[in-house]
Structure 1
Amino acid sequence: MNRLREMFAGIRARDVAFMGGYALYLVFGYMSFESPTVLTSLGQTGAHVESLFLVAVVAARLVVYLVMMAVARRASNRSSSLTAIVVCAGAAATGFVVTRMAFQFAGYVPLEALVPWLVFGGLFFGAGDALINLLWARFCGTFDLRQAYLFVLLSNVASLVVYFLVTLLPSPAMLPVGAVLFFASAWFCKKCLDARAPIAEEYSAPVFKGALSALWRPMLGTAILSFMSGLMLQVSARQDIPLATFQQTALVTQAVVIVALLLPALFVKSRPSLGSVYKVALPLSAAGFLLLPLIWNGVGGLANACAQLGTLVASIILWCMLANAVHDTKLPAALLFSCSLVCTNAARMAGTLLGLFKADSFGQGNLELTAVALVAVYLVAMVSMFLFKDKKLEGSGEGDGKAAMPVAERQGDALADRCASLAQAHGLTPRESEILVHLGQGRTARAVSEKLVVSENTVKYHIKSIYQKLDVHSRDEVIDLIEHSE
């Protein structure tokens, strides 16, 4: 439990309560996107309507993330959190109002006539969801890896408890409860952002490319699992499984997996090895497809639960890795998270569309076609596992790896002034300016990483950017340039 005390050290109890808003957001996601809980207010909507709603949600997410990728390089994180929350809440409110109107007319007009309204509502649902997701991403970027991991897992535990209570409510209450959860989460998010010291975000092309090169494997793995998740959800929607049974199976299986991930983080001293978890997540998701021809709907949607669990585990791990990258590199959270979320949501869209048009082929009596699809997906998962093998970077990126003779560490104002002058003249970012001073003192990339408490690779990315801007090729040239600057 010392890990929890370390995580919340210096944080007021009120701020800890505000962090529970992320759990409320997760519950809203379970209700709206991971199961047809919200749509139960319409009665028996049918798989086709639910699928179209999800397609609209994912499409809106993709648009928002693509827009954020385009603007995040130039946007400043100093933008008002209140403004961002208002825009987010406005988009979601439109989605709730339109969907609620469709529910009101459900008893008077054919369901087919309400589909355009539900799709329209789904677009605003997705936009609001994407925006608040990025706001929580900015908040998580203020944590280091262990803190982010504990925060996300504890939030998932709390969300399962709240979701269980929500499932006990009558169907007509689902949409209003979903609205309350979303707006409460948005308000808590603002409080969390105001309580934490904001990250001085800065964009650097070499650092951004370096971060993507370190994260593309988990992004690929999560995208594959998201595709499988979207497909399996459509297949499951064709099965005769009561919603309550569907929910209970998901709750129990998710609780077991989340607790299994949480306990080692609480009691093991070493830094969590997140990459290795994919070796469990990928076969777990594939197992859902392998079980489907055998059990169909006989175990309360267990096959679907397995597929969703693989995606859940991979998404948690990727989220923590992204948050740690933002904390480490100072890259804009909206940029880094949007790049990842575009990949995973595009894959989920592909799986959903495939399921929408082809899931009927995966009938209980059509095992041959199902088996072909399952084997193909399983092979893709195994190939992905091979891609996740850790590869050690060779070479230090500084000449032939030999440490240059360090000059004396000068602590006076002269060095800082010269570095500041160079930084201003060559357009260095604040983080690059800070690293330039350390280079001027003769420190290696490893020594700088220890001083700044960031990864060595991140420092190397910054150093590469500094070399490009100063038009030099080694640390010795940097030192010489500093010493001869006016």
Structure 2
Amino acid sequence: MLPIFVVLVVGARALTPLFERRALMIAAPLLMVVSVVLFEAANLAGLGANKLWDGAFWPLVAVSAFTAGAGAALSILMWAELQSCFNSLQIVLYVSGAFFLGSVIGWMTFGMDESRLVVALLALPVLSFACLKLGFSKIPSDDLPKRTWGKLRFPWKLVIVLGVYEFVLGVKQGVSFESDLFAFGVMLASAILFVVVYFFFHRFDFTRIYRTPIVLMVCGLLVALLAFSSNSMVSDVLVSAGYALMFLMLTVLLCDIAHRYGVSAVLLCGIEELVMFTSAAGHLTAAGMEGGMLPVNVDDPAVSVALVMLVVVASMVLLSEREYSRWGASFFGAGRLAFDGDERGRFVQRCAEIEERCGLSPREKEVFQLLAEGKNAAAIERELYIANGTLKSHTRRIYQKLGIHSRDELRALVHGEGSIGKGQG
């Protein structure tokens, strides 16, 4: 997967949007199907999994592994591109729902007999491709991914924290981590987020969940410390749930940034996926401890303490940001995007300046930007899932805070042709 992520990140401006490249759309499921066929052919020819890397069979297995990873990488970023077409609430529901469904399907395949597993692995890529095509066909043309965007200062704090979580998970997986426990942790985190957002989105403040991954991760590591063993089911579930929730939230935020600022989700999520390098480093560290190449044992309390400190320090770096507005975008540094030559970026920046100056609430900020974009009442109600009366109430308060009386005055204000009313802000 990693080589494909590197190619797509480096060549994002030339290759995106991916959904317009029919060859890549078809290649994603086709590569995964080919990988299954090649592996099964090598398996049958070698008469057993233990002999796959012997003699003439290992090149076939290697090609199978590469095609599987390449197809999966393309598919992941194409889905990120689709998710970046949605509004904030839809992004949370789709991403958390996808995480949950994927973990359930993965859990169901554990222990499945080979013939049924082969059928599942052949069918799932094709089903994913069909759903992806259907999804893009339902997106209005104005909301489809853009071909160009301005300069970007990527929120690197996000990468650092996720990298630390990946490393800790890699250490745990390199010792005694059970795959079904990891799937259960992902199911738990994604299901809770989906349910909370779906039923309480009117009162939901996404920024309140930012601290949850650190709590889960630290508790999981402390359980291993108190048990004097890295082999703990409770510890494994908590660590996997903490990592999954962090990865899920960052995916949601990156897709939301891509949607708001018109930046390619392939670029943003591709950089996020490259952080899995640190997971490999965690595996190697665990192997070094178990093999005696490092002076400590994986069950030593010092190891758990070091991992806890690593998670806490990295999380504090992230949580040191004080700006929680705009649904978390500025929280991760998106408020410092460079807008050179980027009309969309300058528009969003101007909206943010007015919102902060006038003290708009998080919900009022969302309504304000949609009003500034010129969207009608029905479109705003549909996008934010609010009633007409609620929209009118938000609009009235926005007008009062800005000291204006109409949409024309609002748009003039955003485009620098007006001024905020006296005594407002």
TM-score (norm 1): 0.61
Match for 2:146 among 201, 204, 207? Answer: 201
Number of the residue aligned with 2:212: 280
Number of the residue aligned with 1:110: 51
Give the partner amino acid of 2:144.
Answer: I
Deviations 1:62-114 (A, max 9, x none): 21122112221234528635322212123323322332233224436735415
Aligned residues: 347
For 1:312 and 1:164, how far apart are their aligned partners in 2? 15
For 1:229 and 1:124, how far apart are their aligned partners in 2? 25
The answer as to whether partners of 2:171 and 2:283 remain within 8 angstroms in 1 is yes
Number of the residue aligned with 1:70: 10
Task: State the SS of the aligned residue for 2:176.
Answer: helix
Shift of 1:260: 2.4
Root-mean-square deviation over aligned CA pairs: 3.9
Number of the residue aligned with 2:135: 192
Task: State the SS of the aligned residue for 2:14.
Answer: coil
Shift of 1:312: 0.8
The answer as to whether partners of 1:94 and 1:124 remain within 8 angstroms in 2 is yes
Residue 9 of structure 2 is aligned to residue 88 of structure 1 = no
Give the partner amino acid of 1:182.
Answer: P
The answer as to whether partners of 1:134 and 1:333 remain within 8 angstroms in 2 is yes
Distance 1:265 1:86, change over 3 A: same
Shift of 1:336: 1.6
Residue 183 of structure 2 is aligned to residue 183 of structure 1 = no
Residue 86 of structure 2 is aligned to residue 143 of structure 1 = yes
Shift of 1:306: 2.5
The answer as to whether partners of 1:138 and 1:333 remain within 8 angstroms in 2 is yes
Residue 251 of structure 2 is aligned to residue 319 of structure 1 = yes
Q: Structure 1 segments of 4 or more deviating over 6 A?
A: none
Residue 41 of structure 2 is aligned to residue 120 of structure 1 = no
Shift of 1:443: 12
The answer as to whether partners of 2:36 and 2:64 remain within 8 angstroms in 1 is yes
Deviations 1:456-480 (A, max 9, x none): xxxxxxxxxxxxxxxxxxx9xx98x
For 1:200 and 1:117, how far apart are their aligned partners in 2? 37
Number of the residue aligned with 1:56: none
The answer as to whether partners of 1:227 and 1:350 remain within 8 angstroms in 2 is yes
For 1:337 and 1:297, how far apart are their aligned partners in 2? 31
The answer as to whether partners of 2:149 and 2:264 remain within 8 angstroms in 1 is no
1:313-462 to structure 2, matched below 5 A, reads 313-342=245-274, 344-360=275-291, 370-389=300-319, 391-392=321-322, 428=341, 431=344, 435=347, 446=355, 449=369, 451-452=372-373
For 2:78 and 2:69, how far apart are their aligned partners in 1? 14
Distance 1:194 1:118, change over 3 A: same
Task: State the SS of the aligned residue for 2:64.
Answer: helix
Match for 2:174 among 219, 227, 234? Answer: 234
Residue segments in structure 1 that go unaligned for 5+ positions in a row: 1-60, 238-245, 395-426, 455-474, 480-486
Task: State the SS of the aligned residue for 1:236.
Answer: coil
Number of the residue aligned with 1:19: none
Task: State the SS of the aligned residue for 1:90.
Answer: helix
Distance 1:124 1:77, change over 3 A: same
Residue 238 of structure 2 is aligned to residue 306 of structure 1 = yes
Match for 1:153 among 96, 99, 123? Answer: 96
The answer as to whether partners of 2:97 and 2:191 remain within 8 angstroms in 1 is no
For 2:186 and 2:61, how far apart are their aligned partners in 1? 29
The answer as to whether partners of 1:281 and 1:309 remain within 8 angstroms in 2 is yes
Shift of 1:172: 4.3
Number of the residue aligned with 1:7: none
Deviations 1:313-357 (A, max 9, x none): 111101100110011001112112112222x22212222333344
Number of the residue aligned with 1:265: 197
Number of the residue aligned with 1:410: none
1:2-81 to structure 2, matched below 5 A, reads 61-77=1-17, 80=20
Residue segments in structure 2 that go unaligned for 5+ positions in a row: 325-339, 356-364, 381-412, 418-425
For 1:443 and 1:187, how far apart are their aligned partners in 2? 38
151-160 or 376-385, which deviates more: 151-160
Give the partner amino acid of 1:309.
Answer: A
The answer as to whether partners of 1:81 and 1:193 remain within 8 angstroms in 2 is no
Give the partner amino acid of 1:380.
Answer: L
Residue 188 of structure 2 is aligned to residue 256 of structure 1 = yes
The answer as to whether partners of 2:31 and 2:68 remain within 8 angstroms in 1 is yes
The answer as to whether partners of 1:229 and 1:351 remain within 8 angstroms in 2 is yes
The answer as to whether partners of 1:65 and 1:130 remain within 8 angstroms in 2 is yes
Distance 1:303 1:136, change over 3 A: same
Give the partner amino acid of 1:133.
Answer: I
Deviations 1:189-237 (A, max 9, x none): 122122213525154444x22xx23xx3333222211112222112116
The answer as to whether partners of 2:53 and 2:61 remain within 8 angstroms in 1 is no
For 2:66 and 2:203, how far apart are their aligned partners in 1? 40
Percent sequence identity is 15
